[in-house]
Amino acid sequence: MLLIKLFFAFMQVGLFSVGGGYAAIPLIQEQIVNIHKLMTLEEFSDLITVAEMTPGPISINSATFVGMRIAGIPGVLLCTLGCIIPSFCICLILAHFYYKYRTVSGVQIVLGSLRPAVVSLIASAGASILMLGLFQAELGEIVLSNLRIVELVIFVVALVILRKYKVSAIAIILGSGVVGTLVYVLLGAVA
């Protein structure tokens, strides 16, 4: 019974979290901590910390974490499944209509005006991550003297490499992690 409850709890998370990762956090808290009391608030904040430190969407991470702690591997599978079923159904229908009608000129005109906005949304996400990387702070709380030179150099070098050579993005991301950590270890900044 518990597994079924978990399944439907995460299905609701999947169905109602519109607008990406952080929108899902209060929903998960509502379902898991408040309604079903499957975790304490403290465990939940640990979960968010871990989810932020690891790759993957936050709702999938939460579903896996909660599922594992409560019911092991079957829990993981069922929670994750619940979480993605709404996405799967909705996106499949939209994909079908998108590919059926996307060449219609009217649809092209409407989609055309969405594209510049999407470019800006991606740019904005990039700018936020850059500021977080360079200053360890959000835009409003930036102190210029906190600029981290190591991160700045990594960013510039990585961007130059990406623009000049055909290097995979994954290599750049992992490479910057390895090189940066080594530099900080050599500087004695990692305790």
How many residues bind other proteins (CB under 8 A)? The answer is 100
Among 124, 141, 146, 147, binds other proteins (CB under 8 A): 124
**Which positions from 34 to 73 touch other proteins by CB under 8 A, shown as an x/- string?**
------------x--xxx-xxxxxxxxx--xx--xx---x
Q: How many CB atoms lie within 10 A of CB 62?
A: 28
Residue recorded with tokens 């991606």: 122
Among 1, 37, 42, 113, binds other proteins (CB under 8 A): 113
CA 117 to chain centre: 20
Would you say 21 or 36 has its CB closer to other proteins? 21
The reply to whether 82 sits near other proteins by the rule CB under 8 A is no
- Segment contacting other proteins by CB under 8 A, of 1-9, 32-40, 179-187: 179-187
The reply to whether 80 sits near other proteins by the rule CB under 8 A is yes
**Contacts to other proteins from residues 10-39, by CB under 8 A:** 14-22, 24
The reply to whether 187 sits near other proteins by the rule CB under 8 A is no
Among 1, 143, 144, 170, binds other proteins (CB under 8 A): 170
Report, in angstroms and rounded to the nearest whole number, the Rg of the chain calculated over CA atoms.
21
Among 106, 143, 145, 186, binds other proteins (CB under 8 A): 106
Our CA dihedral for 30, 32, 36, 41, rounded to 10 degrees, sits at -90
Beta carbons within 8 Å of 6's beta carbon, 6+ residues apart: 36, 38, 66, 67, 70, 71, 75, 78, 79, 82
Among 37, 42, 110, 145, binds other proteins (CB under 8 A): 110
The reply to whether 133 sits near other proteins by the rule CB under 8 A is yes
DSSP conformation letters of 90-123: HHHHHHHHHHHHTTSHHHHHHHHHHHHHHHHHHH
Calpha distance 133→153 (Å, rounded): 11
